Amino acid sequence: MVKKKKKQQKPWQYKFSLALSLLMLLLVCGYFVQSFVEIRKVKPVSVAIERLTRSAPAVESGGGDD
Amino acid sequence: MSRDINVALTPQEKLIRVFAYLSLLAAFIVGQIASQTDFEALLQGQMPDATLSRSQANEQLPVVYRFESGGELSPDVVVMAEGVGYGGPLVVGIRARRTEDGGRLNEILVLSHKETPSFLERINRGKFFGQFAGKSVSDNFIVGDDIDAVSGATVSAEGFTAAIREAVHLGAVQHLKQKPSWQEPGWNVGADEFLLILLFAMAFLGAYRRDKLAKYTRYVVMVGALVFVGFYANVSLNLGNLAGIVMGYIPLPRQHPMWWIMMIGALGSVIVLGRNIYCHQICPFKVVQDMLQKVSGIQLRIKPAVQRKARTLIFTLSWAALMLIFLSAHPALGSYEPFAMMFSLEGLGIQWYILPAALLGSFFVPSFWCRLFCPVGLFLNEGVRARRSIRNKFFGRKKRKPIPAAESSKVEIIAKSDGE
């Protein structure tokens, strides 16, 4: 059986697939940032944060968003 | 993806790997400590003006709070209930009042949950919790019986109902000294569960046979995966499911048999057979990608250098996702996969951009998501690899019988002549 030779891909095609991958990566990173912000809103976490802030001696406020 | 698995790690890579595992362990411990249930704090968050006091009627579960509002003791009490939903543990407060015939529910307060926000939105939109108002503590509280299910969020609804049922019935027995007159829920197994088992059975058949029947079976499984696993049941595996197991968020088989079938099918095929059946045949998103490829006919390749880094990239993304999941103890927050969104068309913020980008990528590059971003594929393939190395370590590779020196030269001569 004769092995089919893979068609050579043009440089711009490689660049295009790379650009798609980078775009996707950027979006996934964006999702992580969004999740990180959301974490503060998760009830047990917000309760834990509040508990910690309450027990800590008066610290300068970081401008909490809650 | 498993091309470079045998390449030895450099000392730096080993160090990075150790750091990754240690940081995950630290995140897990911190997350578990932070998410320990503090009923009073959760309840106070919901009722900021009330003065709460834990009922001292008896020390037995469930925990019950009395509260004062505006200087007056309320006739209501709040019964705390814990359960397991689709995403993990949930806590609800049941506002109830003692009556002549026992007790009645007034209101359900969702204090904490780990459900995917879109699922909870569906539940709230359907006024699910409103059904509980006015119910007697001795009612059945069974979805499909005296409680209406919520389509598209069945497991979450089941989880909330089970938590409420258990706490209310326990409260009725312990606090109100009632005798159980309610019906216990049965196994939730029906046609859906049977269909999923059938799909897995057919996938196994398709993976092990090479004849025409196997070919047709694969087509049937493909359609089944897309329609049933994707659009109908929307039970694709995601990183949150796998991380949830580590965190002990395992639903009862009676409550969510579909979860068990999926896990046994996907992880069982890796552990028992050493094959990743899920990714190749059951994953509905893989089917969508394959279909897009058929439609476009474009098969762009990724630079080999980029492809070689893909495994590291997925590892890094999975690490970041797991850090978020473990820190928040909330599996839905780290799962960046677009599966659930693809089949329910509900998502939050940036998720709306991830799905079209993944589809666009799959249009041009075959299995774009699987090859570069999917953490589920990575973990299942790593499982296959780990199984193989364990097997080789304990049972050894399949070795040829040692051939005596004199005979080995004969074999060599025969082999040469065969080659000629």
Residues B362, B233 share a domain: yes
Residues B159, B268 share a domain: no
Residues B254, B334 share a domain: yes
Look at the block and give the residue holding tokens 């200087």. B71
pLDDT in tens, B127-161: 788 888 888 988 888 888 888 888 767 778 888 89
- The pLDDT assigned to A5 comes to 61
- The pLDDT assigned to B266 comes to 95
Q: A28: which chain B residues are within 8 Å (Cβ-Cβ)? A: 317, 336, 354, 373
Indicate yes or no: CB of B328 within 8 angstroms of CB of A45: yes
Shortest Cα–Cα distance, A60 to chain B (Å): 22
- The pLDDT assigned to B122 comes to 77
Residues B155, B58 share a domain: yes
Q: A23: which chain B residues are within 8 Å (Cβ-Cβ)? A: 357
Residues B377, B238 share a domain: yes
- The pLDDT assigned to B328 comes to 83
Q: A35: which chain B residues are within 8 Å (Cβ-Cβ)? A: 324, 328, 333-334
Position B218 in a domain = yes
Q: How sure is the predictor about A6, in pLDDT bands with cuts at 50, 70 and 90? A: low
Which of B302, B316, B322, B359 to mutate: most A Cβ within 10 Å? Answer: B302
Q: Tell me the C-alpha distance between B246 and B146, whole Å.
A: 34
Q: B330: which chain A residues are within 8 Å (Cβ-Cβ)? A: 39, 42, 45
pLDDT in tens, B226-279: 999 998 888 889 898 899 888 888 888 887 888 899 999 999 999 988 999 999
Among candidates A14, A28, A43 on the partner chain, residue whose Cβ is nearest the Cβ of B336: A28
Exposure string of B272-297, with b = 16+ CB inside 10 Å and e = fewer, is eeebbbbbbbbbbbbbbbbebbeeee
Residues B359, B288 share a domain: yes
Q: Is the pLDDT of residue A45 over 60?
A: no
Q: Tell me the C-alpha distance between A35 and B224, whole Å.
A: 32
- The pLDDT assigned to A49 comes to 57
Position B196 in a domain = no
Determine the number of helices (DSSP H) and then strands (DSSP E) in chain A. 2, 0
Identify the domain boundary among B132, B152, B174. Answer: B174
Indicate yes or no: CB of A17 within 8 angstroms of CB of B313: no
- The pLDDT assigned to B73 comes to 79
Q: Is the pLDDT of residue A21 over 80?
A: yes
- The residue ranges of every structural domain in chain A are 11-55
Position B325 in a domain = yes
Position B232 in a domain = yes
pTM of the entire predicted model: 0.76
- The pLDDT assigned to B159 comes to 85
Determine the number of helices (DSSP H) and then strands (DSSP E) in chain B. 17, 5
- The pLDDT assigned to A55 comes to 55
Distances from the Cα of B356 to the Cαs of B119, B236, B305, in angstroms?
21, 18, 26
| Residues in chain B, pLDDT under 50 | 1-6, 403, 406-420
Among candidates B42, B301, B354 on the partner chain, residue whose Cβ is nearest the Cβ of A28: B354
Indicate yes or no: CB of A42 within 8 angstroms of CB of B333: yes
Task: Answer with the residue of higher pLDDT: A3 or B52.
Answer: B52
Residues B124, B57 share a domain: yes
Q: B316: which chain A residues are within 8 Å (Cβ-Cβ)? A: none
Quote ipTM for the complex: 0.75
- The pLDDT assigned to B416 comes to 45
- The pLDDT assigned to B1 comes to 42
Task: Answer with the residue of higher pLDDT: A6 or B226.
Answer: B226
Position B130 in a domain = yes
Task: Answer with the residue of higher pLDDT: A24 or B410.
Answer: A24
Tally of structural domains, chain B: 2
Upstream peptide bond of B253 is cis (omega within 30 degrees of 0): no
- The pLDDT assigned to B203 comes to 92
- The pLDDT assigned to A60 comes to 39
Indicate yes or no: CB of B303 within 8 angstroms of CB of A30: no
Which range marks the domain in which residue B85 is found?
A: 41-174
